[in-house]
Structure 1
């Protein structure tokens, strides 16, 4: 599957929001990331020619941001927020300045349940906050296993 196939498969209810979210992130992302389909969703990753060690679990390119249109929500997975608490704090503090709805979020997953209420400007700012080199450094700086 490629990006076009995935986008074509998105339900009509989510299609515009998915494409707008994707385009917002892509247009704000620093150079060096590449588009891929990983774990069943399109996203942006660090290519193996830039980071040959790859992702520790599957020995594939290092994922960074994924965007998935699911049945009940649109999800943005940002691995940098999972690994950098300061970035997560920034996002959670900024979110209420852009949206009146409650933030629906897991460790790296931001969920939007209304396709008409997505903070594109904030997602663009978030995408700008980490370069490929910063993501690689952050990825390498912490243990990959669960905390004991």
Structure 2
């Protein structure tokens, strides 16, 4: 978890705020940047990324993968270049059953791909559908 945290911190674009949310360590767009907050609970900042150590796996939650098909498809195509095991992924959740199979370099590339402003625009476009 520490190594995953370090990779995220090193590669995450400026403007995201680290904190606890939904029972895990996460990064969000702070109210100072996006005053409206998260539509489900406007008191909460807009969530973007989270990591959690579950009972049987380590989870990486990346809302950009859920909201941006192009980013999702890029990640799915790149994953086999880094890891021999099958990708275990939900809508925004990537599960790693063994820490040694976490593709840290790929995760670093993934978190670099979206700025807070890009995430806000994508989020708002999804809300207006």
In structure 1, the residue corresponding to 2:35 is in which secondary structure? coil
Match of 2:56 in 1: 72
In structure 2, the residue corresponding to 1:142 is in which secondary structure? helix
Corresponding position: 1:143 with 2:114? no
Ranges of 4+ aligned residues in structure 1 off by more than 6 Å: none
Corresponding position: 1:50 with 2:33? yes
Q: Which blocks of at least 5 consecutive residues in structure 1 are unaligned?
A: 1-17
Corresponding position: 1:35 with 2:18? yes
Q: Which blocks of at least 5 consecutive residues in structure 2 are unaligned?
A: none
Q: Map Cα deviations across residues 108-131 of structure 1 (whole Å, 9 max, x no partner).
A: 000000111110000000000000
TM-score by length of 1: 0.84
Larger gyration radius, structure 1 or structure 2: 1
RMSD: 1.1
Paired with 2:78 and 2:60, the residues of 1 have a C-alpha distance of: 16
In structure 2, the residue corresponding to 1:49 is in which secondary structure? coil
Paired with 1:67 and 1:26, the residues of 2 have a C-alpha distance of: 12
TM-score by length of 2: 0.96
In structure 2, the residue corresponding to 1:130 is in which secondary structure? coil
Paired positions, count: 128
Return the offset for 1:26: 1.2
In structure 1, the residue corresponding to 2:18 is in which secondary structure? strand
Alignment of 1:3-22 (within 5 A): 18-22=1-5
Alignment of 1:42-121 (within 5 A): 42-59=25-42, 60-121=44-105
Q: Map Cα deviations across residues 1-25 of structure 1 (whole Å, 9 max, x no partner).
A: xxxxxxxxxxxxxxxxx11111101
